[in-house]
Structure 1
Amino acid sequence: MSRALPEVVFVLGAPGSGKGTQCARAVKHLGFEHLSAGDLLREERQRPGSQYAAMIEQKIRDGQIVPVEVTCALIVAAMRRATGTRFLVDGFPRNADNLTGWYTACSETTRLLFVLFFECSKEECSRRCLARGAAGSGRSDDNEESLLKRFDTYVKDTLPVVNHYDELGLVRRINADHDPDSVFEKVKAVFADAGIFSTP
């Protein structure tokens, strides 16, 4: 018996907008598996013998985007290892190249449900990231210098991707400036509108 076609929700937003926090809640309450493009890249960077480790580290430190072939390959491999068929793909696609690469590699083998877009002020996002870094997140990009580069990349490269999906009627916007509980109530409402309800 063939496996069901994987269903995907892209999760996008500025650095610090709460994507990871809300994805963790959605995993627990909505039955999705969370695939963070950033986490997959960081894991690959730390994997002994990885041919991509140095390149990934440099890109992350510079707030730049890793080549789509690498990111797509890591996402597809993670889907194949997973037991479920519904995925939150967090932090991807982040630019036009990512978008093209996804269409080429995965558009025929996955079903995109919608794009969950967390809108959050730059000030609040910066506060969260710097607090996370100060608390010992272990992330080499949770600092002011990297944040400036990451925000620049987000505005120039990621927002056009959001606009592309918006034109297709696939973007679901969430005001993420509020506390995590309030934001998750909005997230649940979006999934309920799509016929996906939280578990008891």
Structure 2
Amino acid sequence: MGTVVDAANKEASGIVTDKKPTVVFVLGGPGSGKGTQCANIVQHFGYTHLSAGDLLRAEIKSGSENGTMIQNMIKEGKIVPSEVTIKLLQQAIQESANDKFLIDGFPRNEENRAAFENVTKIEPAFVLFFDCSEEEMERRLLSRDQGREDDNIETIRKRFKVFLESSLPVIEYYNSKGKVRKIDAGRPVEEVFESVQAIFSPKNEKAD
């Protein structure tokens, strides 16, 4: 299989303007604390945090033709095509002066994952998976005061179901390649970050 990867890498250097970024996918259910830990990783390890949702929202706000199309799809309850999200991620990677990226909340499903690797020719260095019980995520979401209208019990449970059905196959795929770093995200923020640091600090790479 090495030859396929080598070919993909050669091709990638042409596409991504000679940039060979380090990409870490960050996955976890709603309320697993991904956002907080991504902010810590950015601060301590110099990564650039790319949120697929934020990029889509920014594109909508820009009023571009692409943004209008995305907005209409979301309004109609349709899923934005993988290619659209991937193009925005790819653009953000190419325009950044950095070469280390956390991609948060993407890929959401197997189709996203396959399309991302296919289009960008980038394979993630690893997947950071924040594993948290549904009870704990539910408790966190209901207690946060951010006034998000999707933080009610029915919607929360629906979001859990979508996460389990869509994202777990992605985690299983990368797990089979030895690329998943699972973190017990049900603990206090500081303890979770200690585990995160152990993964990102090269000298502690073996510590878990």
TM bracket (short chain):
0.7 to 0.9
Cα separation, partners in 2 of 1:129 and 1:58, compared to 1, 3 Å: farther
Q: Which amino acid aligns with 2:30?
A: P
Of Structure 1 and Structure 2, which has the larger fraction of its residues in helix? Answer: 2
Give the match for residue 113 of structure 1: 125
Equivalent residue in structure 2 for 1:188, among 168, 179, 197: 197
Q: Which amino acid aligns with 2:165?
A: K
Give the Cα–Cα distance (whole angstroms) in 2 for the partners of residues 68 and 24 of structure 1. 25
Equivalent residue in structure 1 for 2:52, among 23, 37, 43: 37
Q: Deviation per CA, 1:12-66: give whole Å up to 9, x if none.
A: 111111111100000000110000112222223333242211213554xxxx753
| Conservation of the 8 A alpha-carbon contact between 2:117 and 2:123 | no
| Conservation of the 8 A alpha-carbon contact between 1:41 and 1:56 | no
Return the offset for 1:126.
1.6
Give the Cα–Cα distance (whole angstroms) in 1 for the partners of residues 139 and 93 of structure 2. 33
The answer to whether 1:14 aligns with 2:14 is: no
Give the Cα–Cα distance (whole angstroms) in 2 for the partners of residues 194 and 46 of structure 1. 42
Q: Which runs of 5 or more residues in structure 2 are unaligned?
A: 1-16
Equivalent residue in structure 1 for 2:155, among 146, 149, 161: 146
Give the match for residue 73 of structure 2: 55
| Conservation of the 8 A alpha-carbon contact between 1:130 and 1:143 | yes
Return the offset for 1:87.
0.1
| Conservation of the 8 A alpha-carbon contact between 1:46 and 1:53 | no
Give the match for residue 130 of structure 1: 142
Structure 1-normalised TM-score?
A: 0.84
| Conservation of the 8 A alpha-carbon contact between 1:9 and 1:87 | yes
Task: Count the aligned residue pairs.
Answer: 186
Give the match for residue 95 of structure 1: 109
Give RMSD over aligned pairs: 2.1
Q: Which runs of 5 or more residues in structure 1 are unaligned?
A: none
Q: Deviation per CA, 1:123-158: give whole Å up to 9, x if none.
A: 1112222333x333xx45333333222111111110
Percentage identity across paired residues of the two chains: 46
